Amino acid sequence: MEKIHLLPRNTPLVGEIHVPGDKSITHRAIILGSLAKGITKVTNFLNAEDCWRTIQTFQSLGITIEQQHSTLTIRGKGKCALKEPSIPLYFGNSGTTARLLLGILSGLPFFTTMYGDSSLNNRPMQRIVQPLKQMGACIDGRSHSQHLPLAVRGGKLRGIHYTLPVNSAQVKSAILLAGLFAEGTTTVIEKVETRNHTENMLRTFGADITVERHGCIKISNKKDLEARHIDIPGDISSAAYFIAAAAIFPGSNLIIKNVGLNETRTGILDVLKQMGASIMIRDKKCMNGECFGNINVKYSNLKGTIIEGNIVPRLIDEIPIIALIATQAEGSTIIRDASELRVKETDRIKAIVNMLLNLGANIKETDDGMIIYGKTSLTGGYVQSYADHRIAMTAAIASFVADEDIVIDDISAVDVSYPGFFQTLYQIAPTA
């Protein structure tokens, strides 16, 4: 438990920063590099706890993965060369590792057991287990396979035609990865587009995948994956904290370099523009289906907005920091259709509402979101991070608009996605 005491800040954010590599893309590069034949290099990988859970999992499955500074070298031997692990696989806090790996392990001819930390062990797994069982997977575990620990006896799979009942990239990805091992074609239909990094990376590694209109994705086991060099752009979900700080602190003018700008992830930029923020994108480039560029954000007066429907999956991880931004906008902000937040690392609707209430905000919890009435000054005080990285970082950014000190009970969770978060914060905006 690492407690932190933050003073009110009095310097605007001015200058240029880099944020670490994208978490979702790093997981997928490690996964596909481990299934491909040959040497895959992953540069600017996210060197954080969640990604190490994926690296260590593939090391336990017999893959050599070496780290040198911010580069990973993965010596893949082809997807059928993975070996039965002699120990249970530990996924820590990482939902992406757990769910994507379940798809892969279902198609491999050996036995695995797996578990996570207390948060992950209570997150829903039935949404993955059910379609995988339809493909022929043999999975059993706690509470009728709804929760980790789970055991998988991998084997033959057959392709299915599956319409996603939840808007989840993890569910989509687990089925597509299982499709790499299945006989016939696997088709996934998504009604609302979720992050598409798995599709982009499967295409880059040479898989037989097609993405048709109306969210219809097809994959088969026809082609072997080939090793690649993957350069990971900065994570927009990490950039979001500094974008927010600059947008709400008077006088700020910040450039965040080389940030991923995949349209399935940029909902926060659209919402901020709608709220009246000054956001400019410069030097945009695209490679392997992933776009990236520099984001320039300046302070401006913000107004409330409504966030609902198809945009929600494009900003699902940014809702805690958007709620903080909304406390500094004139008028009300309504967030709905976001009940998925209740099954993240913690119940993020409860966590963020409690935190902002403790800091004096005017905010109300609803079943599938929240309503924030702005603009209110924040008081400071003692807040809980609920051992959730995104709640801890949101609390730290609240110190930009709080009148008094903020004490966060435990900040160790930031290591899950952004170990250097506080260094960047102090570098760009020291306290008086």
Q: Which residues bind ligand S3P (CB under 6 A)?
A: 24, 96, 168-170, 173, 195, 316-317, 340
**Is the backbone of residue 79 left (phi > 0), alpha (psi -120 to 50) or beta?**
alpha
Coil, helix or strand at residue 48: coil
Contact present, 62 and 81 (Cβ < 8 Å): yes
Question: What's the token pair of residue 20?
Answer: 């670490």
Query: What is the gyration radius of the CA atoms in the chain, in angstroms?
Result: 21
Which residue's CB is nearer to ligand S3P, number 231 or number 235? 235
From residue 189, how far is each of 24, 192, 305, 356 by CA, in Å?
21, 9, 30, 37
Enumerate the active-site residues.
317
- Cα 188 vs. chain centroid, distance in angstroms? 21
From residue 64, how far is each of 73, 81, 96, 122, 301 by CA, in Å?
8, 12, 21, 31, 51
| Distance between CA atoms of residues 300 and 247, nearest Å | 6
Which residue's CB is nearer to ligand S3P, number 170 or number 394? 170
Residue carrying structure tokens 């998988």: 152
Q: What are phi and psi of 383, to 5 degrees?
A: -130, 160
Contact present, 17 and 223 (Cβ < 8 Å): no
Give me the least distance between CB of 79 and ligand S3P, in Å please: 20
Contact present, 327 and 378 (Cβ < 8 Å): yes
β-strand pairing of 406-408 with 4-6 = antiparallel
- Give the alpha-carbon dihedral of 242, 248, 252, 257, to 10 degrees: 30
Per-residue buried b or exposed e for 168-205, using 16+ beta carbons within 10 Å of the residue's own CB = bbbbbbbbbbbbbbbeebbbbebeeebbbbbbbbbbbb
Which residue's CB is nearer to ligand S3P, number 313 or number 380? 313
Q: Which helix (H) or strand (E) holds 14?
A: strand 14-18
Q: What are phi and psi of 240, to 5 degrees?
A: -55, -35
| Distance between CA atoms of residues 36 and 64, nearest Å | 12
Which residue's CB is nearer to ligand S3P, number 173 or number 399? 173
Per-residue buried b or exposed e for 92-109, using 16+ beta carbons within 10 Å of the residue's own CB = bbbbbbbbbbbbbbbbbe
Give me the least distance between CB of 344 and ligand S3P, in Å please: 6
